[in-house]
Amino acid sequence: MSTLTLADIEKAIDITCDTVIRNEKYFSDLDGLAGDGDFGTSLATGFKVIKADLPTIDKSAIGAMLLKISMICSKHVGGSSGPICGTGFMRAGMAAKGMTEVDYATLTAMVGSALEGIMARGGAKRGDKTLLDALIPIHETMQTMDGSDLKAVLAAVTKVADEAIDETRSLVAHRGRASQVGERSSNTPDPGIVGIATILYDWCKHYGVDYTPKAAELAR
């Protein structure tokens, strides 16, 4: 059974910061197709603070570190993304409370806890064309695997997120700002789903996992 240490999770978060910061304009451009065009900037503003604070943040346990990151998200990530990120990190941290390393079952539980929190907080459900349409099948896929090969898990969940981009493209958004434009949100990708897929694909590149993206937004 593979375990992840606090340092492993810190490194993954640092890579995520770089991904979000590098894609600031692209994510905002995607959001502008059906929303108010602030998604990339909202995220990048907060993740710049996370990147800067990460070296000195509380690392007594994974839960404590994620709780601090949650607080940064709530304070510095703008728009509707702030409470969603904040809730996700907080709930993931609660599932890793007091731990300095996590096994695969705990990692899966952290994802499950995060998505339950996001559902409760945002009131969205599967099929509403939000990031839940990536997170829910990612969690389901993790539950079907034994975690003995974390690279295989990463490849599998990246594929799930990649496919979610095209599976939800034709849907009309029912939650968030994009829902206010109704039909204009059909045939545009959901920026949150693209965001998750882009983060996972960047993790693949960093950790040496071979993955060939399908959706245009990843294969650019």
| Site for Mg ion, rule CB under 5 A | 31, 35-36, 38-39, 177
E-strand stretches of 78-144:
101-103
Nearer to Mg ion, 20 or 109 (CB): 20
Q: How far is the CB of 2 from Mg ion (least distance, A)?
A: 36
Q: How far is the CB of 178 from Mg ion (least distance, A)?
A: 8
Alpha-carbon radius of gyration of the chain: 16
Round to whole Å and give the CA distance between 150 and 195.
21
Q: How far is the CB of 203 from Mg ion (least distance, A)?
A: 24
Nearer to Mg ion, 175 or 177 (CB): 177
Q: Are 136 and 126 in contact (CB under 8 A)?
A: yes
* Per-state percent for the chain, helix, strand, coil, to nearest 5: 70, 5, 30
Q: How far is the CB of 19 from Mg ion (least distance, A)?
A: 18
Nearer to Mg ion, 8 or 36 (CB): 36
Nearer to Mg ion, 85 or 96 (CB): 85
Distance between alpha carbon 174 and the CA centroid of its chain, in Å? 20
Select the residue whose beta carbon is closest to Mg ion and give its number.
35
Q: How far is the CB of 175 from Mg ion (least distance, A)?
A: 12
Round to whole Å and give the CA distance between 190 and 185.
8
Q: Which of 62, 115, 108 is nearest to 84 (CA)?
A: 115
Nearer to Mg ion, 11 or 78 (CB): 78
